């Protein structure tokens, strides 16, 4: 049986054996830290006397599979049996558990496997070498004659063999190998094969523990009344009626609003309903989405700053036809199924948190600063997260900060669970930025593309946050990624970006800039190809330069598996889109039916090239899930500000989620590759909406220049 | 005091009778397999069995369940739940996992009513359960697989 542990206690009960504190090279790290420090200490593996191998997973498990993926990498080089593998979330520690691409602990950008690929294999290989050395010593045989397979260490000559557990204590005293060799890809046993995830059983019987499932003695549940408009602050609070609710213990004003502390969740919610709060809107966002878009249109006309330029736009002057389009995308909420939450406990000047955090090190330093305690006196236990899609990775660390503010404002030791309701989540900001694209393309009489211009208008995700330094003074590429750096030969090019400002906080949302750039670019390109008299799929292939082999590979594969014959067949529309995001190449074909003017997607074909496929099962799952996530959003979802600036949506009745009856059949083909692995958590998302837009236009002639499909924005 | 039966055990709760069953199960009884997703019966993460029928516990005040039998994911027994959980594990349905208790409760209730559900039966029975990770392809397959197991 495989299982996983969410508590340290479970591991310790397994017996203290080999705890491997490794000093490992950074391997293929590309972060600046790689150049400045040759080694970073790491602690990833514990082998119990009961033969269990527990891997401390430095990435948040929010459904994308890093518990299983990183454990697979260790098990491969350790030659462990898969059944003995366990996974446990690593605590907050930027030094030990940095994402090698970020230089700090963090999960995002579909980097978990990519940054860990060599690091975790080295960790496994080092542990294996120490176990072999221990066996050689105990048995008095040469280490070179010892073999390891499926968790068994053997010496053929003497007939001796042992599991890992019996040798774990002896292995702990062996010298740490500095640069243990790793396997050739041809010798992989586990990498490249399907296996269920380590956390599947616990997630199928209700025993998996998430942040909201943490209960501590004497714990109070806390909900916060946030201002109805972004940027507003508290003027006055009348808490008399709230305090009269049985179970409500106290009410405190904190920087983000008014916190109600109660003995249970229902009392906290009832108490919050009974608060009378007056808000100061003088610095608040009072513009509606419509008013904001009017300003975005003006900014697009002004052209923004140039972020990519190639050739001379005078090429448009000789065009036989010029196509233009303006696209509008709404704010979007991530809406993870587990609403935002955090548990914090103060005792004797120290603090401990339980928290599904994507940036645990950053959340730790932020919470410690709020509490005024040294960082080393604040522990974060990183738990499973019930979805995130970027929402739990905050440049402002606002959830950690709010939890710490609550604990501080309580004025005493104790445990406090911060709970956001679904309404808090949907009205609470940190949205995918609302965005406007203005595109223009020029064609000659033969249908060759002479020029391409795209101006992107939106708020910056990083500017104005503590993470602005990542930009090193440049424009925020997360705002326009995917509009620039296209693989197609498009003639003279200019990509512009206009940054808008608002008190509405924005954030990366599963696939970030590609959420809108992919739609604008790939649907506009489809129109251009049609104007040129080209087939959408062959037309894309024809625009690729010879060196674009991986782009070509996924387009040709999706053409093959979808049986592509063109954009219409038997009363159904077919659309294709191709997007490279986070290092991964994905092409998707959508089949759409017209059900009374409403698009119904019946089938989706997906070809993905993510380099070496560590666990094909997880890759297929992420493509399936990414497609469903993108489809529900494209069909239904928008967050809008009404007149006066208040958010108009509040829960799943007016921010609808995709339902099972709307989910298409999905066929995924994974391109065989020996390239280093890239991510899969996000790249399934971007091509879906444009492939749908293209299929719908092919079927109905309707051009959808704004999302969602279900209605006009605002 | 509100008395009812949870997973075969009688409970007696001295809390506001308007308290939703969801929060009574979680906050008072520490049965955390039943999840909070929306609070307005739109997502199904809080699905429990009430006298044998699936029910959204987030909109069910405990006063309404006085004397009733409540079964949560922790207390489910029988061939249907066993077949559903095995099917879920075999094709690795969960991603984040938060909604899966509710999915499994609804799927089990479906198989208790309909031995061999069609795709349309599945669409109808599972329409109230949201999976934000969109594991729907596998949920559908796992329900069909579980039905086959139960047929023997």
Residue A16 has pLDDT above 80, yes or no: no
Residues A262 and A389 reside in one and the same domain: yes
Per-residue model confidence as pLDDT tens digits over A599-652:
999 999 999 999 999 999 999 999 999 999 999 999 999 999 999 999 999 999
Per-residue model confidence as pLDDT tens digits over A477-494:
999 999 999 999 999 999
User: Based on the structure, what is the number of domains in chain A?
Assistant: 3
Closest residue of chain B to A650, computed from CA coordinates: B38
Q: Do B38 and A215 touch (CB under 8 A)?
A: no
Which residue(s) pair with A253 in the sheet?
A: A258
Q: Do A632 and B134 touch (CB under 8 A)?
A: yes
Residue A441: per-residue pLDDT: 98
Q: How would you classify residue A360: left for phi > 0, otherwise alpha for psi between -120 and 50, otherwise beta?
A: alpha
Nearest to B129 by CA among B109, B88, B100, B108: B100
Residues A186 and A304 reside in one and the same domain: no
Residues A217 and A348 reside in one and the same domain: yes
Q: Do B42 and A652 touch (CB under 8 A)?
A: yes
**In chain A, pLDDT over 90 holds for what percent of residues?**
87
Give the span between the Cα atoms of B116 and A182, in whole angstroms.
49
The single residue listed with the structure tokens 């090239």 is: A609
Give the span between the Cα atoms of B58 and B128, in whole angstroms.
13
Average pLDDT estimate for A291-311:
98
Residues A193 and A306 reside in one and the same domain: no
Is residue A712 a part of any domain in this protein? no
Contact A421, A509 (CB under 8 A): no
Class of domain B79-151: mainly alpha
Per-residue model confidence as pLDDT tens digits over A503-540:
999 999 999 999 999 999 999 999 999 999 999 999 99
Within 10 Å of residue A570's Cβ, how many Cβ atoms?
5
Residues A112 and A231 reside in one and the same domain: no
Q: Which residue spans of chain B are classified as CATH 1.10.150.120?
A: 79-151
Out of A366, A387, A419, pick the residue that ends a domain.
A419
Residue B152: per-residue pLDDT: 82
A439 phi, psi to nearest 5 deg: -115, 150
Q: Is A199 on the interface with B (CB under 8 A)?
A: yes
Residues A607 and A678 reside in one and the same domain: yes
Nearest to A359 by CA among A115, A117, A97: A97
CATH architecture of B2-75: Roll (3.10)
Q: Is A380 on the interface with B (CB under 8 A)?
A: no
| Res. A18 pLDDT band, cuts 50 70 90 | low
Per-residue model confidence as pLDDT tens digits over A227-236:
999 999 999 9
Give the span between the Cα atoms of B84 and B64, in whole angstroms.
29
Residues A242 and A367 reside in one and the same domain: yes
Average pLDDT estimate for A261-273:
98
Closest residue of chain A to B125, computed from CA coordinates: A660
Contact A554, A578 (CB under 8 A): yes
Of the candidates A196, A208, A627, which has its C-beta nearest B92's C-beta? A196
Q: Is B57 on the interface with A (CB under 8 A)?
A: no
Give the span between the Cα atoms of A151 and A18, in whole angstroms.
15
Is residue A3 a part of any domain in this protein? no
Give the span between the Cα atoms of A490 and A488, in whole angstroms.
6
Q: Do A204 and B42 touch (CB under 8 A)?
A: no
Residues A675 and A655 reside in one and the same domain: yes
In CATH, what number is assigned to the domain containing residue A369? 3.30.365.10
| Res. A8 pLDDT band, cuts 50 70 90 | very low
Contacts of B123 in chain A (CB under 8 A): 659-661
Host H or E run for residue A228: none
Is residue A452 a part of any domain in this protein? yes
Residues A302 and A273 reside in one and the same domain: no
Give the span between the Cα atoms of B7 and A37, in whole angstroms.
56
Is residue A266 a part of any domain in this protein? yes
Host H or E run for residue A621: helix A616-636
Size of the A and B interface in Cβ pairs below 8 Å? 185
For A306, A496, A642, B103, the CA distances from A475, given in Å and listed in that order, are 10, 10, 30, 44
Per-residue model confidence as pLDDT tens digits over A31-48:
222 222 222 224 799 898
pLDDT per residue rounded down to tens, chain B (152 residues): 999 999 999 999 999 999 999 999 999 999 999 999 999 999 999 999 999 999 999 999 999 999 999 999 999 999 999 999 999 999 999 999 999 999 999 999 999 999 999 999 999 999 999 999 999 999 999 999 999 999 98
Q: Which domain holds residue A693?
A: 289-332+430-700
Structure-token pair, residue A468: 């602005």
Q: Which residue spans of chain B are classified as CATH 3.10.20.30?
A: 2-75
Residue A662: per-residue pLDDT: 98
Residues A223 and A129 reside in one and the same domain: no
Residues A508 and A360 reside in one and the same domain: no
Residues A295 and A444 reside in one and the same domain: yes
Out of A189, A204, A219, pick the residue that ends a domain.
A204
Q: Do B137 and A666 touch (CB under 8 A)?
A: yes
Give the span between the Cα atoms of B126 and B123, in whole angstroms.
5
Give the span between the Cα atoms of A434 and A296, in whole angstroms.
10
The single residue listed with the structure tokens 């094909």 is: A616
Out of A369, A387, A419, pick the residue that ends a domain.
A419
Q: Is A265 on the interface with B (CB under 8 A)?
A: yes
Q: Is A336 on the interface with B (CB under 8 A)?
A: yes
Q: Tell me the torsion sign for CA atoms A684, A687, A688, A691.
A: negative
Nearest to A521 by CA among A566, A486, A476: A486
Structure-token pair, residue B97: 């996992």
Q: Is B94 on the interface with A (CB under 8 A)?
A: yes
Is residue A713 a part of any domain in this protein? no
Residue A14 has pLDDT above 80, yes or no: no
Q: Is B32 on the interface with A (CB under 8 A)?
A: yes
Residue A395: per-residue pLDDT: 86
Per-residue model confidence as pLDDT tens digits over A341-400:
999 999 999 999 999 999 999 999 999 999 999 999 999 999 999 999 999 999 899 999
């Amino acid at each position: 049986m495989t299982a996983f542990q969410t508590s340290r206690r479970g591991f310790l009960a397994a017996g203290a054996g080999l705890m491997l504190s490794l000093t490992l090279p950074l391997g293929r790290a590309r972060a600046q830290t790689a150049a400045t420090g040759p080694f970073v200490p790491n602690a990833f593996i514990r082998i119990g006397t009961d033969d269990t191998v527990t891997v401390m997973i430095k990435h948040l498990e929010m459904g994308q599979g890093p518990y299983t993926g990183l454990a697979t990498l260790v098990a491969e080089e350790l030659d462990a049996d898969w059944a003995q593998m366990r996974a446990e979330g690593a605590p907050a520690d930027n030094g030990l558990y940095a994402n090698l691409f970020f230089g700090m602990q963090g999960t995002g950008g579909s980097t978990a496997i990519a940054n860990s690929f060599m690091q975790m294999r080295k960790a496994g290989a080092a542990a294996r070498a120490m176990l072999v050395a221990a066996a050689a010593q105990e048995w008095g045989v040469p280490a070179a004659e010892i073999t390891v397979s499926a968790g068994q260490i053997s010496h053929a000559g003497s007939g001796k063999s042992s599991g890992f557990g019996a040798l774990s204590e002896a292995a702990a005293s062996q010298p740490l190998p500095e640069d243990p060799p790793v396997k050739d890809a041809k010798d992989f046993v586990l990498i490249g094969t399907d296996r269920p995830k380590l956390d599947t059983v616990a997630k199928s019987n209700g025993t998996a523990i998430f942040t909201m499932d943490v209960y501590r003695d004497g714990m109070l549940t806390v909900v916060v009344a946030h201002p109805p408009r972004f940027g507003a602050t508290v003027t006055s609070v009348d808490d008399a009626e709230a305090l009269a609710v049985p179970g409500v213990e106290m009410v405190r004003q904190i920087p983000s609003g008014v916190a109600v502390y109660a003995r249970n969740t229902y009392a906290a919610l009832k108490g919050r309903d009974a608060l009378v709060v007056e808000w100061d809107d003088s610095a608040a966002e009072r513009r509606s989405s419509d008013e904001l878009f009017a300003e975005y249109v003006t900014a697009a006309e002004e052209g923004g700053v140039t972020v990519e330029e190639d050739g001379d736009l005078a090429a448009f002057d000789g065009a036989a036809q010029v196509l233009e389009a303006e696209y509008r995308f709404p704010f979007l909420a991530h809406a993870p199924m587990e609403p935002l939450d955090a548990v914090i406990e103060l005792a004797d000047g120290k603090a401990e948190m339980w928290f599904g955090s994507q940036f645990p090190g950053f959340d730790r330093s932020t919470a410690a600063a709020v509490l005024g305690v040294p960082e080393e006196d604040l522990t974060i236990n990183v738990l499973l997260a019930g979805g995130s899609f970027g929402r739990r990775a905050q440049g402002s660390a606002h959830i950690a900060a709010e939890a710490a503010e609550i604990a501080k404002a309580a004025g005493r030791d104790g445990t406090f669970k911060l709970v956001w309701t679904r309404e808090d989540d949907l009205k609470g900001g940190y949205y995918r930025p609302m965005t406007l694209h203005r595109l223009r393309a020029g064609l000659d009489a033969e249908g060759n593309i002479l020029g391409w211009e795209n101006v992107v208008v939106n708020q910056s995700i990083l500017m104005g946050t503590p993470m602005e330094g990542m930009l090193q003074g440049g424009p925020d590429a997360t705002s326009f990624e995917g509009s620039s750096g296209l693989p197609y030969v498009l003639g003279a090019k200019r990509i512009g970006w206009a940054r808008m400002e608002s008190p509405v906080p924005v954030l990366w949302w599963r696939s970030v800039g590609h959420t809108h750039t992919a739609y604008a670019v790939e649907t506009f390109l489809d129109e251009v190809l049609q104007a040129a008299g080209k087939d959408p799929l062959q037309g894309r292939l024809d625009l690729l330069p010879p060196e674009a082999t991986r782009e070509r590979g996924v387009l040709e594969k999706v053409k093959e598996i979808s049986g592509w014959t063109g954009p219409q067949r038997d009363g159904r529309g077919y659309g294709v889109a191709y997007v490279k995001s986070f290092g991964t190449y994905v092409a998707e074909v959508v089949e759409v039916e017209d059900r009374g003017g409403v698009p119904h997607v019946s089938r989706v074909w997906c070809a993905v090239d993510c380099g070496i496929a560590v666990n094909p099962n997880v890759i297929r799952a992420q493509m399936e899930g990414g497609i469903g996530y993108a489809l529900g959003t494209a069909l239904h979802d928008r967050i809008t500000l009404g007149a006066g600036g208040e958010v108009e949506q509040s829960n799943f009745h007016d921010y609808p989620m995709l339902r099972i009856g709307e989910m298409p059949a999905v066929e995924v083909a994974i391109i065989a590759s020996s390239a280093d692995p890239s991510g899969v958590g996000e790249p399934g998302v971007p091509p879906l909406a444009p492939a749908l837009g293209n299929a719908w236009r092919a079927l109905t002639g309707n051009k959808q220049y704004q999302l969602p499909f279900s209605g006009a924005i605002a | 005091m509100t008395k009812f039966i949870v997973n075969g055990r009688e409970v007696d709760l001295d809390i506001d009778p308007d308290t939703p069953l969801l929060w009574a199960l979680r906050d008072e009884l520490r049965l955390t397999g039943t999840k909070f997703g929306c609070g307005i019966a739109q997502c199904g993460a809080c699905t429990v069995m009430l006298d044998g029928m699936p029910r959204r516990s987030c909109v069910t005040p405990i006063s309404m369940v006085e004397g009733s039998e409540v079964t949560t994911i922790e207390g489910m027994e029988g061939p249907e739940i066993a077949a559903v959980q095995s099917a879920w594990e075999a094709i690795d349905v969960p991603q984040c996992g938060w909604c899966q208790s509710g999915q499994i409760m609804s799927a089990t209730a479906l198989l208790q009513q309909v031995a061999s559900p069609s795709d349309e039966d599945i669409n109808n029975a599972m329409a109230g359960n949201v999976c934000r990770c969109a594991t729907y392809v596998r949920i559908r397959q796992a329900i069909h697989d579980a039905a086959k197991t139960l047929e023997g």
